[in-house]
Amino acid sequence: MSITIKRRPVDDTIALTEAGLHPVLESIYVRRGIQSVQQLERGLAHLLPLDQLKGVESAAELLAGAVTSQQRILIVGDFDCDGATSSALAVRALHMLGATQVDYLVPNRFEYGYGLTPEIVAVAAERNPDFIPDLIVTVDNGISSIEGVAAANERGIRVLVTDHHLQGNELPAAAAIVNPNQQGDEFPSKNLAGVGVIFYVMLAVRAVLRKQGFFGNESGPNLAELLDLVALGTVADVVPLDHNNRIL
């Protein structure tokens, strides 16, 4: 058996000496695309600003309104690790933010198909007469759920789509859509996993509630406590670990 060693090219014009790194570590970083000392910063203050995500303001206003008016919020996720961590993060974050009526639904795609299908909307609306959702929030899915969103709208259920998959020729008629890969989105990183997208949305919701004085003299919950879920979902979904994802 022969072993092939694939060597990464080195750009001799890049130097990270000011970071005080060991030469071996510096060599590894340069070969992995690190071009400046700033890219080594991992503090949350260096995250890309959330206001560059298209639709995040509308989504935050929608969710904040649902929290303050104690509406019934249903999280619809996917069965993989990104979907599971996205669902867990959404439920936990909403409780931390003050929501009291939150539930989740993870469809069996072999029975109902992928994403928010009309069948899942029917299940969501009929499975519990005491919890007919006012708002459905999709996590790690929904960008292609044209028929499912239409079915929800027919029942008077609003839908917030949060996703990271590529859009098709048509977008669902949702109340708001947050997806860094939708057309017209200027968010610099297109590599967010679904759990990263919903984390950004929850940061935006907290900002809206702060502005409204919902937390009184407090600053609101520390959503950084949920970053373990973001890290797990991001790594498991095998999205590129660019600078922003490394921080998350």
Q: Model pTM?
A: 0.92
Residue 111 pLDDT: 84
Does the pLDDT at position 199 exceed 90? yes
**Is 196 in contact with 89 (CB distance < 8 Å)?**
no
Phi, psi of 94 (to 5 degrees): -65, -40
**Is 230 in contact with 195 (CB distance < 8 Å)?**
yes
Does the pLDDT at position 91 exceed 80? yes
Q: How far apart are the first and last CA of the chain?
A: 40
Find the mean pLDDT for residues 206-234.
98
Does the pLDDT at position 101 exceed 90? yes
Find the mean pLDDT for residues 9-24.
76
Q: Which of 14, 49, 84 is nearest to 189 (CA)?
A: 49
Query: What confidence category does residue 28 fall into, taking pLDDT thresholds of 50, 70 and 90?
Result: confident
Residues above pLDDT 90, as percent of the chain: 80
Domains, the chain, in order of start with CATH, read 1-40 (no CATH), 47-247 (3.90.1640.30)
Does the pLDDT at position 8 exceed 80? no
Query: Residue 195, Cβ neighbours under 10 Å: how many?
Result: 35
